[in-house]
A = this chain, B = another copy of it.
Amino acid sequence: MSVAPSRQEQKERTREAILNAALDLSRDHGFAQISLRQVARQAGVVPTAFYRHFDSMDELGLALVERSFLTLRTMIREAQGDPDVLDNIIEASAEVLVRVVKQNRMHFAFVARERASGSAAVREAIQRELELFISELAVVLARLPHLDRWSSDDVKMASGLFVRNMVYRAEQVVQMPEGRPDREEEITRKAQREMRLIVLGFEKWES
């Protein structure tokens, strides 16, 4: 027999249902074009109940941004903990990328989609988080051979190149039909080739 949930627990549960409903509906139509009523319906709740959790759709969007970047940070932390990554940044990080993206498809899809097109508030939040993420990755990169002597501007440039590559490949993984390990391998391979090319540039870089 399950115990009756406390009021707080129940509220949290509904909030979660709303977030998931929005994420789910965004998949097909984009967050900006789904309505408050659609979200409420999918969450199994009456439209007005929505307001007990969020003031507006915009606020819901910001909450989704926050939640999505939480999983992005998990990735960078995982990459940092992995001893392979420092030895072999390219192969290891490309694999971490594809794996984490596959596990969190919806979150990455949301970020990739709304980055350029969401409401102004959502778009700005994503840009800010992405900048933050680039800075965090730069700290990791700064410990690599060749890069440890660079100016911080240069390291950030490298980090930016990697992250943009990552976002692009994540878009592809997200759009990839399920159960196509061949496509997945191809994406991993292409990402690796590109990162290898960039790293080759690092070795000759000056100023």
Contact = CB atoms under 8 A, between A and B. Distances in A.
Nearest to A28: B120
Contacts of A199: 201
Interface stretch (A5-13, A75-83, A109-117): A109-117
A161 interface: yes
Contacts of A160: 194
A52 interface: no
B193 A204 contact: no
B157 A197 contact: yes
Contact of A113 (B33, B116, B157, B164): B116
A171 to B, nearest CB: 6
A190 interface: yes
A203 interface: yes
Contacts of A205: 197, 200
A186 to B, nearest CB: 11
A194 B116 contact: no
A168 B157 contact: no
Contacts of A118: 117
Contacts of A194: 157, 160-161
Interface string A165-207: 1001001000000000000000000100110011111111100
Given A113-B117, A201-B204, A204-B204, 4 more contacts: A30-B32, A197-B198, A199-B201, A200-B200
